[in-house]
Amino acid sequence: GQQVMQIPQYQHVQEGEDFTTYCNSSTTLSNIQWYKQRPGGHPVFLIQLVKSGEVKKQKRLTFQFGEAKKNSSLHITATQTTDVGTYFCAGTGGSYIPTFGRGTSLIVHP
Amino acid sequence: SQTIHQWPATLVQPVGSPLSLECTVEGTSNPNLYWYRQAAGRGLQLLFYSVGIGQISSEVPQNLSASRPQDRQFILSSKKLLLSDSGFYLCAWTSSGSTDTQYFGPGTRLTVL
């Protein structure tokens, strides 16, 4: 079945440093979504990528979808303490069932 | 606008006791509904999903079951809880026939002692 690998599992950064998390799928995806879960909270949708090679930006966050639609990345520029949380990717291969990565927990040290 | 409710928010249950968690969605019709479990510090494990009333698909065999008695109501149950059932249970929905955004409820934090 479809598998989505996400790395790293944890990332410690100093406030102001950049952060990147990567997702790789074992199969070609129809779309990929990114979610953020704050400590103690529930996952909240950030963005969806659909097109091959797509790049989207939300303020300091940059999301990319690979040309082969099998990988994706989330990059945060100049992290802030408000960026703390776990970031999940979720890939869909055409069914109603998204496959979530295991998430990357971002810890920002002030 | 659409909203999703889950209750209770927190639950502490003894081993061997039954469980019933409820999820309801407002503001949409015929949603796809999902139950996930998240162990502490871990990822999301899909337990069940439903594309319509009475239609339940199980992703992981275990002592949990799900039911969808109404279009916008999704219930997670167990007859006898195990210690390993502890975790954060999340309900989510997507639009009918869509693989788009999953909207998560606030979750139920279950501790089995």
Q: Are A97 and B46 a contacting pair at CB < 8 A?
A: yes
Quick one: CA dihedral B83, A4, A106, A62, positive or negative? negative
Q: Which residues of A touch B51 (CB under 8 A)?
A: 96
The answer to whether A98 contacts chain B (CB < 8 Å) is yes
Please name every residue paired with A77 in a beta bridge, in sequence order, or none if there are none: none
What pLDDT score was predicted for residue B59?
Answer: 83
What pLDDT score was predicted for residue B90?
Answer: 97
Q: Which residues of B touch A98 (CB under 8 A)?
A: 99, 102
Tell me how far the alpha carbon of residue A31 is from its chain's centroid: 13
Which amino acid, one-letter code, is at A41? G
CA distance A94 to chain B (A): 7
pLDDT tens, residue by residue, B80-104: 999 999 999 999 999 876 667 899 9
Average pLDDT of the residues in B23-41: 91
